[in-house]
């Protein structure tokens, strides 16, 4: 913990001294007709992480024990090409890399995130599309705009099958979207990817495990998803699937939403030691509310707030760990349920309650050098596998030098450490109940 506070001090000194990076307000856009209604546009984004992590107990890096570590990584590098080709046809492509760290394979290949084409049958009200898409259900940030995130990172707890049966929340399928008055809707039917094609091995049902669900090795059934929200104030754009994290006082938005996702025989478990296997349909349901509103128009202050309730059913006692750009890759005999590095129990059968809030300070706080946006994030997970609910907390600040085009963020995360109790349920680790991680991120976008 002492090392983390030393690292925090160094980051604060850097935040105070670093100069702003200029960015043009213009877009990279080529018009295709004299009326300027048809166009092709290009955008890009990079997120660079510099962090210090207190590792989970028993963590190793290539069998070398480590209690903590410093690393630098590329959390995301993305490029988009999109365009309105005709009055009805819109295309969208995105490619890049995610989570390139010191333990990643060298010379990573960029991969496709999105490739979609859609046709506006009734413009604004009913559009059909297909391709590799992120039109997901359940809750708002199941499809998240990475360039406008309020906190340091996405609420990954809302991305239930991230890189298990999808490609970083995208699947191949068809979708429908539109706005009917104040109601915004999206529906999709997609082919989940088989777990056998995942780059990292996904655990499957062991022969000796009873009453614990694992993803099935059978050919996946279709997945059905939907998300609907009522827009009380200004309307949000639904041109792209990815929902804005903070409008920085540019819009006055209040939305109430709800959604679902389901897939037959996505998982399975063994009901008894004799080998009888029970198929499980994954079922997800969520409710959320999003508020983003200016507070003082003259000063430019604004409030962003978001709350969600999510119910996940992946079968009995299902629970998996996750950790962004994990800085460790192994464990020894001293390890806990969390596993290596910065992992913690992320998605499981049960309920999750999530809250985030941010306050945008006056726009001339630093004159030409921008302003600050402090924020916090808090999640409470009540999973079937754990004896008691546990929480994950993030506290941070964004230095908006040119809005989201040049943004420096500092974030501290406190995560729980869990171990198996005498009854097989997970309990708080008595020796070390929590660990921390501090990250400084620079984001550029154009």
The model's pLDDT over 182-227, given as tens digits with 9 standing for 90+, comes to 999 999 999 999 999 998 999 999 988 999 999 999 999 999 999 9
Is 165 among the domain residues?
Answer: yes
pTM of the model: 0.94
User: Which uninterrupted H or E stretch holds 283?
Assistant: strand 277-296
User: Looking at 349-388, which runs of residues are DSSP E strands?
Assistant: 350-360, 371-383
The parts of the chain modelled with pLDDT lower than 50 are: 8, 12-24
Is 290 among the domain residues?
Answer: yes
Taking residue 106's Cβ as centre, other Cβ atoms within 10 Å add up to: 5
Is 12 among the domain residues?
Answer: no
Helix (H, G, I), strand (E, B) or coil at 240: coil
Q: What is the structure's pLDDT at 15?
A: 44
Q: What is the structure's pLDDT at 273?
A: 83
Q: What is the structure's pLDDT at 78?
A: 97
- Burial level of 296, CB count in 10 A (0-12/13-18/19+)? exposed
Q: How far apart, in whole angstroms, are the C-alpha atoms of residue 411 and residue 414? A: 10
Specify the pairing of strand 350-360 against strand 39-54.
Answer: unpaired
Helix (H, G, I), strand (E, B) or coil at 363: coil
Nearest one of 437, 420, 376 to 155, comparing CA atoms: 376
User: Which uninterrupted H or E stretch holds 8?
Assistant: helix 2-17
Cα angle: 421, vertex 423, 427; to 5 degrees: 30
Domain count, the chain: 1
Residue range of the domain that includes 191:
28-407+414-445
Is 257 among the domain residues?
Answer: yes
**Helix, strand, coil share (%) of the chain residues, nearest 5:** 5, 55, 40
CATH classification of the domain holding 387: 2.40.160.10
Is 348 among the domain residues?
Answer: yes
Q: What is the structure's pLDDT at 433?
A: 98
Q: How far apart, in whole angstroms, are the C-alpha atoms of residue 111 and residue 167? A: 10
Is 438 among the domain residues?
Answer: yes
Q: What is the structure's pLDDT at 18?
A: 42
Q: What is the structure's pLDDT at 10?
A: 53
Which structure tokens are listed for 54?
A: 């207190």
Query: Would you say 325 and 52 are in contact if contact means Cβ atoms under 8 Å apart?
Result: no
Is 262 among the domain residues?
Answer: yes
């Amino acid at each position: 913990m002492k090392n983390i506070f030393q690292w925090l001090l160094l980051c604060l000194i850097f935040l105070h001294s670093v100069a702003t990076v200029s960015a043009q307000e213009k877009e990279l856009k080529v018009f295709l007709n004299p009326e300027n209604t048809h166009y092709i546009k290009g955008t890009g984004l990079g997120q660079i992480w510099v962090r210090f992590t207190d590792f989970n107990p028993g963590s190793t890096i290539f069998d070398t024990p480590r209690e903590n570590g410093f690393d630098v990584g590329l959390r995301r590098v993305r490029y988009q090409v999109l365009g309105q080709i005709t009055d009805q046809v819109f295309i969208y492509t995105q490619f890049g890399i995610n989570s390139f760290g010191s333990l990643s394979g060298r010379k990573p290949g960029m991969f496709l995130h999105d490739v979609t084409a859609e046709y506006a049958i009734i413009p604004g009200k009913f559009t059909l599309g297909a391709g590799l898409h992120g039109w997901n259900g359940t809750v708002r940030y199941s499809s998240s705009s990475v360039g406008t995130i309020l906190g340091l990172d996405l609420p990954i707890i809302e991305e239930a099958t991230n890189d298990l049966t999808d490609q970083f929340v995208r699947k191949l399928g068809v979708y429908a979207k539109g706005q009917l008055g104040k109601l915004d809707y999206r529906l999709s039917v997609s082919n989940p990817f088989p777990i056998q094609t995942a780059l990292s091995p996904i655990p499957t049902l062991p022969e000796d495990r009873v009453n614990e669900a694992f993803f099935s090795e059978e050919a996946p059934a279709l997945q059905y998803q939907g998300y609907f929200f009522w827009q009380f104030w200004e309307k949000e754009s639904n041109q792209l699937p990815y929902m804005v994290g903070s409008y920085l006082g540019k819009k006055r938005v209040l939305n109430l939403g709800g959604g679902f996702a389901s897939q037959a025989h996505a998982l399975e478990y063994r009901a008894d030691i004799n080998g009888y296997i029970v198929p499980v349909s994954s079922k997800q349901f969520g409710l959320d509310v999003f508020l983003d509103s200016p507070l003082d128009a003259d000063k430019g202050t604004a409030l962003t707030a978001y709350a969600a309730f999510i119910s996940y059913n992946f079968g009995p006692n299902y629970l998996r760990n996750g950790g962004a750009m994990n800085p460790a890759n192994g464990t020894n005999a001293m390890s806990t349920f969390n596993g290596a590095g910065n992992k913690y129990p992320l998605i499981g059968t049960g309920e999750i309650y999530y809250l985030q809030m941010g306050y945008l300070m006056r726009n001339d706080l630093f004159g030409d050098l921008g302003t600050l946006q402090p924020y916090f994030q808090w999640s409470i997970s009540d999973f079937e596998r754990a004896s008691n609910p546990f929480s994950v907390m993030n506290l941070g600040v964004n230095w908006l030098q040119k809005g989201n085009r040049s943004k420096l963020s500092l974030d501290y995360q406190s995560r729980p450490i869990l171990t198996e109790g005498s009854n097989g349920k997970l309990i708080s680790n008595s020796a070390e109940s929590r660990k921390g991680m501090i990250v400084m991120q620079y984001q550029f976008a154009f």
